[in-house]
Chains A and B, each alone.
Chain A
Amino acid sequence: MTSSSEGSTKDQTPEESTAEVRAADVALDTAGGTLEPSIVPVSSQSGDTGHQQGSLMRRIVMGNGFVSVLAVIVALFLGGLLIASTDAQVAKTAGYLFARPSDFLTALWSAMTDSYVALFQGSVFSPREGFKPILETMTVATPLICAGLGVALAFRAGLFNIGAQGQIIISATLAAYVGFTWHLPFGLHLLLVIIMGVLGGAAWGAIVGILKARTGAHEVIVTIMLNYVALFLLDFLLNTSAFRRPGDNSPISPRLDESATYPVLIPGSRLHLGFLVAIALTYGVWWMLNRSTIGFEFRAVGANPIAARTAGVKVPRATILVMALAGALAAFGGVAQVAGTEKVLTGGVAAQIGFDSITVALLGRSTPWGTFFAGLLFGAFRAGAVQMQIQTGTPIDIVLVVQSLIVLFIAAPPLIRSIFRLESKKKKKNKTPKAAPEAALANATGGAK
């Protein structure tokens, strides 16, 4: 939790600032195209920045994409072991493990695979329903993608947006209010629902940006606190007559007007227009980050605020703008929840989406399309987990375990490489002292300031 950029400049020695500038150069170089964002991945580059003499095969194997796949596999395997460890059949057969090991292995295998088969059937394809589950996956993924984009955008600008949860809640509240109190014609109504929701989320995010830019308040703290403020605010509002369903005492809002909701894309499923919006947003964020001046400024601030300021970027303005945009992106997730998936406002409207979106952005390495596919994967976990719990009784919480393990493994590629012995040469031991400081510096500067 370093102090704000202004704060840190004052007490810096010249050596430190030059070192930071150097680190920024490194980060900016890599961020020139669609290469690496500056935040998580920089630490993951520690091993292989600088020396590319390896063969093509080795580069594929050492590459980040491959590590991501391995991370998912290892996490799923460990999750499977966890499921098996509490399985009654496995425990029984473990009792006579040495007498008949095949029983134990069969039980172990079936305990691990049964749950995942159910997960797959609930999220992609089941013999009974065909490909219908994949539509549910896309529905569940929609808010995850939107909010994940918000988190990723902030990451790229060196800001930790832990506040997607609050931004979703505020936007869902405003959007739902417009959706069930105003009665407007088709098209216009939905448009206003989206606008109000997005404005709400943007404002909630901008509070953080303004506080950070003006007072140096750390955005991690402010966003965490604002999440709870938003949660209690929603709880309060749902107990007022303006939001409560008439004639009902439980904290649930009236249903949104038909004209206020996203149209369903494929009849018979819940998949709605919000998914296409999410795709458009993904493209938009990619365009902004990689093709526009403002996106370049954001990345420059993320790589090194001091260097960015020297180059003429207005850092406080960029901070406020990034947080507002991040809030707006998360807000699309909130709108997708109330105007697409749920169609009512409840206290649990944001579920765990805001927190999941952080892992989504991390798995997507803070790139827009990476976030998109990570959102789809975690959406599949979420959608499939419901089916898994019904069929095999495995608690949904296993999804949380797998998700967090994936992110942990991805965040620390040396770990996953050492598990699979991907380090072909011993030279890494000698390299570390030289390569690591760069990574550390870039990690520090590209990380939350």
Chain B
Amino acid sequence: MSATTTVPRSGSTALPAFRPSLKVPVSLGVLALIALVFFGFLGSDKTAEMKISDAGDAVAVPALMIPGQVGGIVLGILLLAMAAYSIYRWTQGEKSPKWLPIAFAVVFVFALLVWIVAGARQPSISLAGLVAGSVTLAVPLVFGSLSGVLCERVGVVNIAIEGQLLGGAFTAALVATMTGSPYIGLIAAAAAGAVVSMVLAVFSIKYLVNQIIVGVVLNVLVSGLTGFLYGTLMVPNKEQFNTPGRLDILPIPLLSDIPIIGPILFEQSIAGYLMYIAVAVVWFGLFKTRWGLRVRAVGEHPQAADTLGINVNATRFWNVTLGGAIAGIGGAVFTLVTIDSFTKDISGGRGFIALAALIFGRWNPIGAFLASLLFGFAYNLQSILGIIGTPVPSQFMAMLPYLVTIFAVAGLVGKSRPPAASGIPYVKG
């Protein structure tokens, strides 16, 4: 996630004395100082208890007991050391290594957590519960951001992720109730997401309407349609239209017995496993197959792709459709896994967080996956903070994903560079 990797090579070689951007070292330095001062010197002197295993677990791991102030100072110094290393690399005219910002982020988040927990009325938190909740909340985000990756990699901006999620959530609830099978609901959700995406594709590819406009309008359209049908169909006849039931939890026999991480990762519904598969398949497909090469060529330089005989607009159409189907499955998670009914605007802006995750993950499936987990973590932390009673207002935790994304597009990640032809319609000729 370093800024420097995004500096275009052609531009940099033209400069006589090239130096990598100062953005990363400076941002890291400032953040490290903030951590040292606020989390360390101004931190609470209470001891934060971080439970790793629950009481009922087979393997009991002792809880981490971290004194708030001392822990903050130690972690702050560690962060400063990383920032110093980054600055040292800069003085040598070298870029910071790629792992550095990631490691920095992990330590920073941990320091933040220690500070928050130690300052709480009830300085105790279950790490396993925190992570498990984060994964659950991240599932729709991952699907949504994968949809964005597929669309943007092929040169179509997908602002309509929110609409795809919402359409999927509604259709899943409706079809699952009417057929009595959540699995058919899941398939229908994928179809609904694909339909929303097809509208985006037709308008932006065939009619050359600006993609951002179509995306924005589609979100409104889906919100209106689902809200209308919810009001006229689901509210008066809940039994008939809005009791989808849930997808079964299918523990994977051996893996789910692994202490601590087993239940988190391997006791999921089919949608959860589909998420892992989707991330892996999209990553492999995009970067290791002929199809992926073509997709990326269309997204970066459609003229060149066309010259080589790739049907640019057909590639775009089917990729956008596929992306919509994936986002639709993500939407089904709301109504078939998280809770078992649809309510108006159930996606609640999660599509925009998915968009943020896609950008923070730099248009890469794995990056989008990790960013979604991070944002899921922030979402979950926000609700847990309310329970343990912290000095930090939960609204600021809620803001965090959005602020982080602004930093990502503006500073820390440097010029986060989308595929070159993203947002530009292609007309042969």
Contacts and interface: CB of A to CB of B under 8 A. Distances in A.
Contacts of A97: none
A235 interface: yes
A395 interface: yes
Interface of A: 1-4, 7, 10-11, 39-40, 43, 46, 82, 86, 160, 162, 211, 215-218, 220-222, 224-226, 228-229, 232-233, 235-236, 239, 355, 358-359, 362, 394-395, 397-405, 407-408, 411-412, 414-415, 433-434, 436-437, 439-440, 443-444, 447-448
A443 B8 contact: no
Interface in B333-349: 344, 349
Given A217-B406, A225-B403, A232-B395, A2 B231 contact: no
How large, as a class, is the contact surface on chain B?
Answer: 35 or more
Contacts of B207: 43, 411-412, 414-415
A442 to B, nearest CB: 10
B425 A443 contact: yes
Contacts of A359: 217, 220
Interface stretch (B124-132, B366-374, B416-424): B416-424
24 contacts: A2-B420, A4-B415, A10-B8, A11-B8, A82-B225, A217-B406, A217-B409, A224-B355, A225-B403, A226-B402, A229-B406, A232-B395, A232-B398, A236-B395, A355-B216, A395-B227, A395-B232, A397-B225, A397-B231, A400-B228, A402-B224, A440-B208, A443-B210, A447-B210
A358 B216 contact: yes
A228 B349 contact: yes
Dominant secondary structure at the B interface: helix
Contacts of B410: 211, 215, 217, 222
Given A215-B415, A440-B426, A220 B212 contact: yes
With most chain A CB atoms within 10 A of its CB, the pick from B10, B216, B426, B429 is B216
B180 interface: no
Contact of A408 (B203, B344, B403, B411): B203
Given A46-B208, A236-B393, A211 B406 contact: yes
Contacts of B231: 395, 397
Nearest to A438: B427
B11 interface: yes
B359 interface: yes
10 tightest A-B contacts by CB?
A: A400-B224, A397-B227, A395-B231, A404-B221, A412-B207, A236-B395, A401-B224, A225-B402, A86-B232, A217-B409
Nearest to B353: A228
Contacts of A399: 224
A30 B152 CA distance: 31
Given A3-B415, A162-B216, A408-B214, A232 B355 contact: no
B396 interface: yes
Interface of B: 8, 10-11, 152, 157, 159, 199, 203, 207-210, 212-214, 216-218, 220-221, 223-233, 344, 349, 352, 355-356, 359, 393, 395-396, 398-399, 402-403, 405-406, 409-411, 415, 417-418, 420, 422-429
Nearest to B359: A221
Contacts of B418: 1-3, 218
A197 B213 CA distance: 28
A404 B217 contact: yes
A229 B217 CA distance: 22
Contacts of A228: 349, 352, 398-399, 402
A411 B214 CA distance: 8
A86 B152 CA distance: 37
Contacts of A222: 406, 409-410
A401 to B, nearest CB: 4
Contacts of A1: 152, 157, 212, 418, 422-423
B224 A403 contact: yes
A218 B363 CA distance: 14
Given A215-B411, A412-B207, A224 B8 contact: no
B417 A232 contact: no
Nearest to A211: B410
B220 A448 contact: no
A359 B157 CA distance: 18
Interface centre among A46, A228, A398, A402 (most CB of B within 10 A): A228
A439 B429 CA distance: 12
Contacts of B224: 397-404
Given A43-B208, A220-B212, A397-B223, 10 more contacts: A40-B213, A43-B210, A86-B232, A228-B349, A239-B393, A397-B227, A400-B220, A403-B224, A404-B218, A407-B213
Given A217-B409, A239-B393, A411 B220 contact: no
B223 A400 contact: yes
A293 B144 CA distance: 44
Given A11-B8, A398-B224, A399-B224, A2 B212 contact: no
Given A355-B220, A439-B208, A221 B429 contact: no
B399 A232 contact: yes
A446 to B, nearest CB: 9
Nearest to A10: B11
Contacts of B356: 221, 224-225
Contacts of A7: 8, 415, 417
Contact of A412 (B209, B229, B402): B209
B212 A447 contact: yes
A398 B157 contact: no
A398 B226 CA distance: 10
Nearest to B225: A401
A398 to B, nearest CB: 5
A436 B429 contact: yes
Contacts of B159: 220
Contacts of B403: 225, 229
Contacts of A11: 8, 10, 420
Given A3-B418, A220-B159, A439-B208, A401 B423 contact: no
A101 to B, nearest CB: 24
Contacts of B157: 1
Nearest to A237: B395
Contacts of A221: 355-356, 359, 405-406, 409
Nearest to A414: B207
Contacts of A160: 212
Contacts of A402: 224
A9 to B, nearest CB: 10
Contacts of B229: 86
A433 to B, nearest CB: 5
A233 B395 contact: yes
Contacts of A436: 208, 427, 429
B173 to A, nearest CB: 16
B151 to A, nearest CB: 10
A180 B236 CA distance: 42
Which of B209, B344, B393 has its CB near the most chain A CB atoms (within 10 A)?
Answer: B209
A219 B214 CA distance: 17
Contacts of B424: 2, 440, 444
Contacts of A394: 232
Nearest to B228: A397
A437 B302 CA distance: 14
A236 B396 contact: yes
A42 B295 CA distance: 28
A19 to B, nearest CB: 11
